């Protein structure tokens, strides 16, 4: 229980959770994060957007970070709406892999990636979206040194438009970070070559990986990803802009896969302990979605051995317990009521 405050009781509650969980400075930064500003590891933030569009946040809410794997569920939902679930399932399964995010994890027999939350599945999903109604994004930097094909930029335009609609805001790509990751992206390229061998990729491996890494490099704040999560909580309808971002069917399918596969190889433990569909990313973000109720997001860069934010996992455990969010518990309350009680 938190103390009552005169003003902003919910934000005071979030600030308290952040402060309590922020004391843990264990964990490691991702190996490719040497270029993080030295103050970034100490930053952290927490945000909550209800399915009705009420927003609350605490901590370093202006800090921009690359979305990384948190883009995966949203792009999966887009692909389902663009192509239909059946066609998407021909390319990507929906079973937990129990392996690290960058394992190949292909299904015996079909050669499909096991699910869209691991890199193999996300690279396959990336190239499934239908970009035909979109103008290619302008090439970043010097056009004479353009490194991306027109079809990469057209697909990125479709995905960026979708991610912007989920966030309800004009998001940008960090092209420099994307280029640096691509230059070192041998493992993702190896995965893409295997997918091509199995006929899962319809485009060249370089094209799929280039676009997939650009998709990982979209810059967001903790409130952006809380709003994106709230759009999934609200059946694909943005709680503030009112836009139908994805269909109810796509939102349901995406949440189901997040529930079983969203937290790398800690997904089973997460479901038991926290009990809400979630997705985490290597830059330190985590989103969680309680269907019909709320989108939650945390940011704190240090990661545990499974690649999940150390502080973020603790914050989610605390929120789940305090607010009664666990999907499998029958003590669930209305989120507004829970927030009133805790603040
Ligand atoms: N861009 C990263 C990769 O593909 C994303 C990893 C992650 O967030 O899990 O390796």
Q: Report whether 336 contacts 53 (CB < 8 A).
A: no
Question: What is the 314 CA–ligand 1 centroid distance (Å)?
Answer: 22
Q: Name all residues whose Cβ lies below 6 A of ligand 1.
A: 68-69, 101-102, 119, 181, 188, 213, 216, 281-282
- Assess whether pLDDT exceeds 60 at residue 4: no
Q: What phi, psi does 287 have (nearest 5°)?
A: -115, 150
Q: How confident is the model at residue 7 (pLDDT cuts 50, 70, 90)?
A: very low
Ligand 1 atom having least distance to the Cα of 281: 8
Ligand 1 atom having least distance to the Cα of 283: 8
Neighbour tally for 174: CB within 10 Å: 19
- Assess whether pLDDT exceeds 70 at residue 124: yes
Measured between alpha carbons, how far is 51 from 233 in angstroms, rounded to an integer?
6
Ligand 1 atom having least distance to the Cα of 217: 1
Measured between alpha carbons, how far is 110 from 125 in angstroms, rounded to an integer?
16
Question: What is the 69 CA–ligand 1 centroid distance (Å)?
Answer: 5
Question: What is the 52 CA–ligand 1 centroid distance (Å)?
Answer: 31
When computed from its CA atoms, the radius of gyration of the chain, rounded to whole angstroms, is 19
- Assess whether pLDDT exceeds 70 at residue 201: yes
Q: What is the pLDDT of residues 255-303, one digit of tens each?
A: 999 999 988 778 889 999 999 999 999 999 999 999 999 999 999 999 9
Ligand 1 atom having least distance to the Cα of 119: 4
Q: Of the ranges 85-94, 120-129, 141-150, 187-196, which one carries the lowest mean pLDDT score?
A: 141-150
Measured between alpha carbons, how far is 296 from 293 in angstroms, rounded to an integer?
10
Residue of 37 and 45 predicted with greater confidence:
45
Measured between alpha carbons, how far is 263 from 8 in angstroms, rounded to an integer?
31
Give, for ligand 1, the residue of 31, 70, 75, 101 to mutate: max count of ligand atoms closer than 8 Å to Cβ.
Answer: 101
Q: 3-state class of 317 per DSSP?
A: helix
Measured between alpha carbons, how far is 216 from 54 in angstroms, rounded to an integer?
27
Question: What is the 282 CA–ligand 1 centroid distance (Å)?
Answer: 6
């Amino acid at each position: 229980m938190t103390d009552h405050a005169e003003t902003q009781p919910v934000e005071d509650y979030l600030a308290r959770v952040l402060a309590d969980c922020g004391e843990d400075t264990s964990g490691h930064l991702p190996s490719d994060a040497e270029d993080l500003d030295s103050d970034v590891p100490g930053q952290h933030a927490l945000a909550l957007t209800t399915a009705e569009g009420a927003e609350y946040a605490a901590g370093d809410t202006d800090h921009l970070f690359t979305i990384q794997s948190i883009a995966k569920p949203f792009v999966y939902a887009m692909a389902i709406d663009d192509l239909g679930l059946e066609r998407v399932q021909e390319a990507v399964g929906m079973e937990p892999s129990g392996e690290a995010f960058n394992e190949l994890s292909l299904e015996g027999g079909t050669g499909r990636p096991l699910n869209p939350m691991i890199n193999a599945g996300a690279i396959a999903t990336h190239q499934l979206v239908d970009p035909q109604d979109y103008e290619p994004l302008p090439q970043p930097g010097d056009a004479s040194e353009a490194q991306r094909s027109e079809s990469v930029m057209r697909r990125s335009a479709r995905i960026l438009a979708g991610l912007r609609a989920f966030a309800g805001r004009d998001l940008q790509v960090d092209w420099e970070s994307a280029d640096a990751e691509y230059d070192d992206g041998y493992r993702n390229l190896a995965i893409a070559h295997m997918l091509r061998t199995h006929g899962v990729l319809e485009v060249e491996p370089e094209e799929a990986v280039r676009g997939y890494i650009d998709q990982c490099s979209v810059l967001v704040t903790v409130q952006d990803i809380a709003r994106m999560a709230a759009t999934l909580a609200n059946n694909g309808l943005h709680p503030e802009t009112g836009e139908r971002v994805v269909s109810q069917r796509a939102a349901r399918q995406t949440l189901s896969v997040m529930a079983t596969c969203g937290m790398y190889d800690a997904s089973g433990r997460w479901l038991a302990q926290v009990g809400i569909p979630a997705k985490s990313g290597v830059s330190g973000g985590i989103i969680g979605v309680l269907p019909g109720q709320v989108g939650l997001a945390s940011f704190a860069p240090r990661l545990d051995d499974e690649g999940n934010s150390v502080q973020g996992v603790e914050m989610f455990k605390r929120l789940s317990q305090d607010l009664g969010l666990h999907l499998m518990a029958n003590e669930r309350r209305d989120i507004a009521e829970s927030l009133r009680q805790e603040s």
